[in-house]
Structure 1
Amino acid sequence: MKLKKEFKSLEKSAVELTVTIEKAEVESAYKSTLANYVKHAQIPGFRKGHVPQNVLERKYGDSIKADTIGTLIDQSFDEIFKEETENRPLPYSQPVMDKAPELDITKELTYTVHYDVFPKVTVKDFSGVNVKEPQVTVSDDDLAEELKSMQERNAMVIEKKDATVAKDDIVTINYSELGEDGNVIAGSERSDFVFTVGSGENIYKIDDEIIGMKKDETKDITKKYKKDDADPELAGQTKKIRVTIKAVKIRDLPALDDDFAQDCNEKYKTLADMKADIKKNMELAASRRVKEMKNNSLLEQLVEKNKFDIPASMLQAELDGRWRMMAQQFQTTPEQLDKMIAASGQTKEAMLEQWTGDSEKMLKSRIIVDCLIRDRNISVTPEEIEAQYAKIAEEGGMTVEEVKKHYEDPRAKEYLIDDAKENKLYDEIYKEVKVSKGDKMSFKDLFSNVQ
């Protein structure tokens, strides 16, 4: 197809494309469209396929012209983007035409569209980048805490013999809020509420106040809440709560011995085996988390040093994706989620606005990684992928064949390749920037802010 194209860069990674199609192409497309109308048109008084062209042009002239324009635009787009990569529209950015062109078969056809493209970011300056690497060691206390968690997960809950409430007991209570007249406030009653004393997982935070109470005992508790209490409905208030202890239970923790290890997993023969394996997994988890924190710090600094705007359609697609994921988490549809949020007094628009900042940062980080991988021509060899299979198998306690079977899915394999490319990129960059020792952190603190 004979045409001329002109790209003009706009703000926020948008492009304006002006296309001029030669007169001969316009005339040919019009004749082809008209011939198709002649072939299929059915008009009273004429046999199918024998309607004169001038009759069709009088009756369907506007439609014939519109179809011709549509055909020319589609064909020109196919022609332009068959080889064009730099100015290709984003998948979710539909080209917009502000003004439809007019068809005159004696003239060239010119039209203009605008759309979003992938941002062009060139990252060359790494001066001033300083990545701090947290210093984490899995201590005996960390291991002991993990073992305690395993004990609790495998514990049996049994009735407490003396039935006196103490910290860490599991209690069942009935409660209600009392008014100034000492009567129960309607609607505040709750029966058979279960929680662990000391967890604070109860509305009125009365853990300390019920310690020492016995089963079937009832007590009226008056509690004053600080003005800066996290719960705005309690902050600065004084509440009177009537509580009755219905049950007091404890967790009967299994002994930490070889039998316990074997019960947890048949691959363990002794408690020592289990401890060694748990520590290895904790160290591996810590290493991955430290790596993630390093990479996040690096990208935050690169985003700050390399200013660019996110295309509007890219940001909207990201926000829409997060909304759909939230709907899946609530096991509902995005449309139903809209109604649920509205019923709670919030709006979808307000929530998307809250997400915008984090979404922009995440998208900018992703774009910088993609651009660096492209600019540095980073690729991975089949041998490197095989090494990746072996590493995953070793860390996961699987065979290489099991790992390969998992990555038979083309999308999973593509994800693995992309991850390998990113790892190679980070390895290169950390040779070019300053990496210094960060603060010492416990294993628990390392994961305290993970979302």
Structure 2
Amino acid sequence: MEFTAKKNNNATCDLSIQFSAEEVRTAYGKAYQNAAEKVKIPGFRPGKAPLNMVEKVLGDSVMDDAANIMLNQAMADLFDKLEHKPIRLPQFQMETFDKNTGAKAKATYDTKPEVTLPKLKKIKIQPKEIKISDADIQKELEGIQKNMARNSLKEESEPVEAADLLEINYKFKETGKEYPEQNQTGKFQMGAPQNPPGFETNLLGMKLNETKEFTFTYPDVYPASPESAGKSIIYTVTVTAVYKVTYPEINDDFASEVDGSANLQELKDKTKKQLVEIFGNALTKRATDDAYNEIIKESKFIIPESLIVEETETVFKNFMREFGLPVTSLSDYAKRLGKEEKEVRESFSKAAEKRIQTYILKQKIADDHKIQISEEEVEAGYEKEATAQGIPAETLKKEVQKQKAETYYRDKFLFDKIDEFVYAEVEKKSPKAISTEEAEKILSGKEE
């Protein structure tokens, strides 16, 4: 067997293999042996007929099997010799295949993606530094206060007030349609910020066991429930319980009840430290992502098209799973959106390409700078991950072993280490102090 391999400039390689006549005959022999177990020859049990008789009966009908046997063996023998490795088994075309003259096969296969990096120290980013105000701390304490709310059942004669918690039976229908047969039950917190504007005014003053029917028109733009926007809905609501909600006063006793703090000031100091850490970590991650975005802009990538196509399908399936959407094809999903498949596929394809770029970028940085992860660092990674999940490290490791996810977590810890290296290497301007409101916009992607 002889071969030639020519690397192309689009992450593919042209491979040509020449086989001798003897190699073709050997492949035919193996194909006949494999077929002997199944072929029926009069006078012989399956698998017991002489091979020359099997060959006479089957003739060239096993040619495809013989070619596959020969090519699979060839790739096993060639793999270590190829300078540019295939990322999947090449699809060969047989140009010739003859027992007397030999065979020739060719294929163009995809190679590993390639990237040329800029110097990391030339990459510039603008880190953000969180500035925690007294109002931020107060807001956080009020959130804790709400979680410590105490509910006391109100008397039957007491009306619903602005901050009460209700238990209700209800049903609803769109104007001009029929009510469903069964009622639904639920809780409704008066004054909650997520309530539709003006909805709760219909409930004010109601009493226990009272039933009321009313029509509510949703705003023309209502992101919380887009399917309700602009519609007039008729509700029938029965109040089955009314609770007066009271909150503990934010003082030294409150601080002690929250976490055993000696006084309110100590709790405020702890709260500020926690906010600085939470926002600080999130903003550092965002700055690291910014660094990668800049590195990607300055890098040169060669990625096989087939890899992007495969990753596009993965990104699409992950999207459908994340949002709990029914399993369907990308083309059917595009039809449901009323858009061209090409347009929808392109949006997922861009995300797929970005994922591939980021992945090979990190691998290249790790290779160039010899970044590896030790067993001690893996253990520390498990400890950190377990703390974040609020479980013991041993519990996490047992679950990881059960799910056979050790490689996933080892790669995760390695990539975390690469992220830290990249953030340390790039040039950082003086941190810009920002408020929590600004930070939330940045972290949610709503920054202008």
TM over 0.5: yes
Amino acid at match of 1:5: T
The 2-side partners of 1:386 and 1:177 are apart by 56
Equivalent residue for 2:327, pick from 334, 337, 344: 337
Q: Cα 1:165–1:291, aligned 2, differ >3 Å: closer, same or farther?
A: same
Change (3 A) 1:6 1:140: same
Query: How far did residue 289 of structure 1 move?
Result: 0.6
Question: 2:76 is paired with a residue of what secondary structure?
Answer: helix
* Structure 1 residues 284-295: aligned runs within 5 Å: 284-295=277-288
1:149-178 Cα distance to aligned partner (Å, 9 max, x none): 233234333345753432575574757578
Contact preservation (8 Å) 1:7, 1:15: yes
Q: How far is the alpha carbon of 1:38 from its aligned partner? A: 7.0
Q: Deviations over 1:124-163 (max 9, x none)?
A: 2558743111121344433333333233234333345753
For residue 318 of structure 1, the aligned residue among 293, 297, 311 is: 311
After TM superposition, give the deviation of residue 290 of structure 1 in Å: 1.2
Bigger drift between 290-299 and 99-108 goes to 99-108
Q: Structure 1 residue 252 and structure 2 residue 246: aligned?
A: yes
Worse-matched range after superposition: 106-115 or 214-223 = 214-223
Question: Partner letter of residue 4 of structure 1?
Answer: F
Contact 2:27 2:69 in 1 (8 A): yes
Q: How far apart in 1 are the matches of 2:435 and 2:375?
A: 38
What amino acid sits opposite 1:124 in the alignment?
P
- Aligned residue number for residue 60 of structure 1: 58
User: Which residue is 1:134 aligned to?
Assistant: 128
Task: Specify the alignment match of 2:105 in structure 1.
Answer: 111
- Indicate whether 1:411 and 2:410 are aligned: no
| Matched AA of 1:346 | R
Structure 2: give runs of 5+ residues left out of the alignment.
Answer: none
Equivalent position of 2:336 in the other structure: 346
Task: Tell me how far apart the structure 2 counterparts of residues 424 and 275 of structure 1 sit (CA, whole Å).
Answer: 30
Contact persistence 1:224–1:239 (CA under 8 A): yes
Distance in 1, matches of 2:77 and 2:107, equals 15
Partner of 1:206: 198
1:18 is matched with 16
Task: State the Cα distance separating 1:371 from its structure 2 match.
Answer: 1.9
CA spacing shift, 1:212–1:148, aligned 2, 3 Å = same
Deviates more, 1:392-401 or 1:155-164: 392-401
RMSD: 4.8
- Judged with a 3 Å threshold, the aligned counterparts in structure 2 of structure 1 residues 221 and 368 are, in CA distance, closer, same or farther, namely same
Residue of structure 1 in register with 2:161 after alignment: 165
2:167 and 2:188 in contact (8 A); partners too: yes
Change (3 A) 1:232 1:43: closer
SS at match of 2:127: strand
Q: SS in structure 1 opposite 2:69?
A: helix
Name the counterpart of 1:435.
Answer: 429
Question: What is the CA-CA distance between 1:326 and the residue it aligns to?
Answer: 5.7
CA distance, structure 2, for counterparts of residue 131 and residue 380 of structure 1: 26
Q: Is the 8 A contact 1:129 1:298 kept in 2?
A: yes
Q: Residue 120 of structure 1: which of 84, 89, 114 is its match?
A: 114
Instruction: Write the distance in 1 (CA, Å) between the matches of 2:147 and 2:435.
Output: 26
Whole-angstrom distance in 1 between the partners of 2:134 and 2:407? 41
Question: Aligned runs of 1:22-421 on 2, under 5 Å?
Answer: 22-34=20-32, 43-45=41-43, 51=50, 53=52, 55-82=53-80, 84=82, 86-89=84-87, 93=88, 95-97=90-92, 99-125=93-119, 129-159=123-153, 162-166=158-162, 170=166, 172=168, 174=170, 185-187=177-179, 194-199=187-192, 201=194, 205-207=197-199, 209-210=201-202, 212-215=204-207, 216=210, 218=212, 225=219, 230=223, 239=232, 246=239, 248-256=242-250, 268=260, 270=262, 277-308=270-301, 310-322=303-315, 324-325=317-318, 337-338=327-328, 346=336, 354-381=347-374, 410-411=406-407, 414-415=410-411, 417-421=413-417
> Structure 1 residues 192, 61: CA separation in 2 closer, same or farther (over 3 Å shift)?
same
Q: Deviations over 1:245-276 (max 9, x none)?
A: 725434333455677667666xx465667655
Deviation at 1:104, TM superposition (A): 1.0
Q: Normalised by the size of structure 2, how large is the TM-score?
A: 0.73
Cα 1:88–1:27, aligned 2, differ >3 Å: closer, same or farther? Answer: same
Measured in 1, the distance between the counterparts of 2:424 and 2:126 equals: 17
- The SS at the match of 1:357 is helix
| Identity in percent | 20
2-11 vs 393-402, which moves further: 393-402
Flag the 1:361–1:197 CA change in 2: closer, same or farther, 3 A: farther
Do the aligned residues in 1 keep the contact of 2:5 with 2:13 (CA within 8 Å)? no
Deviates further, 37-46 or 295-304:
37-46
User: CA 1:372 to 1:122, structure 2 compared with 1: closer, same or farther past 3 Å?
Assistant: same
Distance 2:163 2:344 in 1: 39
Q: CA–CA distance in 1 between the matches of 2:136 and 2:17?
A: 65
SS of aligned partner of 1:338: coil
Q: 1:397 to 1:224 in 2, by over 3 A?
A: closer
SS at match of 1:5: strand
1:104-129 per-residue CA deviation (whole Å, 9 max, x = no partner) reads: 12334222233433310111255874
Contact 2:32–2:51 at 8 Å: present in 1 too?
no
CA distance in 1, matches of 2:272, 2:116: 42
In structure 2, the residue matched to 1:422 is: 418
Alpha-carbon separation, structure 2, partners of 1:290 and 1:140:
20
C-alpha distance in structure 2 between counterparts of 1:224 and 1:447, whole Å:
27
Report the secondary structure of 1:82's partner residue: helix
Contact 1:101–1:109, Cα closer than 8 Å, also in 2: yes
CA distance in 2, matches of 1:410, 1:449: 30
CA contact (8 A) 1:9 1:15 kept: yes
Residues 138 and 443 in structure 1, CA contact (< 8 A), matched pair in contact too: no
- What 5-or-longer segments of structure 1 have no aligned partner? none
